[in-house]
Structure 1
Amino acid sequence: MNTYYFALASQKFLLEEEPMEEILRERTNYYLSHNQDIDFWLLPNADDLKKFGVSISNKMFSMPLAAIVSTNEQFIDWIKLRTVHVYTGHFIAEQFNVTI
């Protein structure tokens, strides 16, 4: 079993208001240049997290949500510090696979 960490925010905030594309592109380039496997995923629709037992309450979040998922807890902590307006958490699963 693996632990996966996530940062959750509104789609508008995560995909439009923050320079997330640039952040993830830089992270991807860093991993590739250091021969590391990519250990993060951008989920444009965070409802996919429900498949892994993550409870997303509509009372808590009234907008469509997006998420960044990673096996690297420090990366998710950095995303939270960098963007501030995200909810973080984790889940345990055998494998993380969603169709994007």
Structure 2
Amino acid sequence: MLHDENNEHFPEVLRERRRFYRETSKEQDFWIVPNPAFLDAMPDVKKKVRQPCVAVVTTDKVWNDFVKLRLDRVYKGAVEGTGVECLKSNELIAKDAFKAPDPSKWTAPYLKYAPGWWEAFYPGNEDA
């Protein structure tokens, strides 16, 4: 999801949402949680999700529906618990976790997003 050409617009969706929140002085209510710990309590769901994985966690149901419609190969669900429990990661995803694209095969009219772009959306990085 973080490095998939089918979801190449995903970083832009998150950046635009963050920009809007900052301009309207709204507190951020969405995060990227790599390898979320809450999946350990959901073995049936965990089996359906390719590993390693990433969760987009938000308290905004309408925006959650929007994100689900904009992305490929996602599972939409709900979790209950404290903020700390819902945002806990079993393992972060390294900036160099993905092989760099072959420039001769990259056909998009824009450059690939920089490795590690997702770290700005980890819980606790709201000011990044």
Secondary structure of 1:41 counterpart: strand
Which residue of the partner structure matches residue 7 of structure 1? none
Larger Rg: 2
Provide, for residues 5-60 of structure 1, a one-character-per-residue CA deviation record: whole Å limited to 9, x for no partner: xxxxxxxxx101212221111100000101100000101223x2237x4x144532
Alignment match of 2:53 (pick from 65, 68, 75)? 65
In the TM superposition, what is the alpha-carbon distance from 1:80 to its structure 2 partner?
1.0
- Over aligned residue pairs, what C-alpha RMSD do you find? 2.1
CA distance in 2, matches of 1:62, 1:83: 15
Give me the TM-score of the superposition, normalised by structure 2: 0.56
Q: 1:95 aligns with which of 77, 83, 89?
A: 83
The equivalent of 2:22 in structure 1 is: 32
What is the TM-score normalised by the length of structure 1?
Answer: 0.69
Unpaired segments of 5 or more residues in structure 2? 90-121, 123-128
Aligned AA for 1:77? Answer: D
> Could you say which structure has the greater relative contact order, defined with CA pairs below 8 angstroms and 6 or more residues apart?
1
Does structure 1 residue 41 correspond to structure 2 residue 31?
yes
2:47 and 2:56 mapped to 1: Cα distance?
A: 21
More strand by percentage: 1
Q: Percent identity?
A: 29
Which segments of structure 1 move beyond 4 Å, counting only runs of 4 or more?
none
Q: 1:56 to 1:69 in 2, by over 3 A?
A: farther
